[in-house]
């Protein structure tokens, strides 16, 4: 049986591979959850394909999204990242990633993994979003707005409801696969 993909996943071999092997599959690894949140916030205003093409550069630049290392970044690291032509050089986004690593570390210091924090929003159960034939994914939902508000309250940056909905579907909290 042929894989049915949304239009965005048919746009290139890279996007097909991403859809077929990563997008929408439930993730429970703190590092990968942090990486995906970071990449999603870099996507704001851009296409996912642009970000995904630069994934290796982002991983290299951000020490493979090691939460402890990123949380320890200083202004010197911000300057290093701003000079890195392989990534999106947006200072607000770079500082948001560093801030978010620090928030994840605070969660861990309080005894909560990032995995548990994220999955608690859906009561640790994958949510199913049924698309009608030809229907595109919404930019945001009631759930993504609620999670966005809570994450902002908890100190996360660059986590608006559109970014969060994209994140929820990417890491499998919301199953919107065709």
* Residues assigned a catalytic role: 18, 40, 48
In the block, residue with structure tokens 């290093």: 80
Helix-, strand-, coil-residue percentages of the chain, each rounded to 5? 60, 0, 40
30 contacts 115 by C-beta, under 8 angstroms: yes
Phi, psi of 72 (to 5 degrees): -90, 0
Cβ-contact 62, 38 below 8 angstroms:
yes
């Amino acid at each position: 049986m042929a894989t049915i993909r949304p239009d965005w996943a048919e746009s290139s071999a890279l996007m097909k591979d991403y859809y077929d092997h990563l997008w929408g599959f439930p993730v429970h690894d703190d590092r990968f959850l942090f990486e995906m949140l970071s990449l999603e916030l870099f996507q704001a205003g851009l296409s996912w394909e642009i970000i995904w093409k630069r994934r290796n550069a982002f991983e290299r630049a951000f020490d493979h999204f090691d939460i402890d290392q990123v949380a320890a970044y200083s202004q010197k690291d911000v300057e290093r990242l701003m000079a890195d032509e392989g990534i999106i050089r947006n200072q607000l986004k770079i500082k948001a990633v560093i801030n978010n690593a620090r928030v994840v570390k605070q969660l861990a210091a309080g005894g909560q993994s990032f995995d548990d924090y994220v999955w608690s929003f859906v009561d640790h159960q994958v949510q199913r979003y049924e698309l009608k034939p030809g229907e595109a994914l919404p930019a945001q939902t009631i759930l993504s707005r609620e999670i966005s508000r809570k994450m902002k309250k908890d100190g996360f940056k660059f986590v608006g409801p559109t970014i969060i909905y994209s994140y929820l579907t990417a890491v499998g909290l919301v199953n919107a696969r065709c």
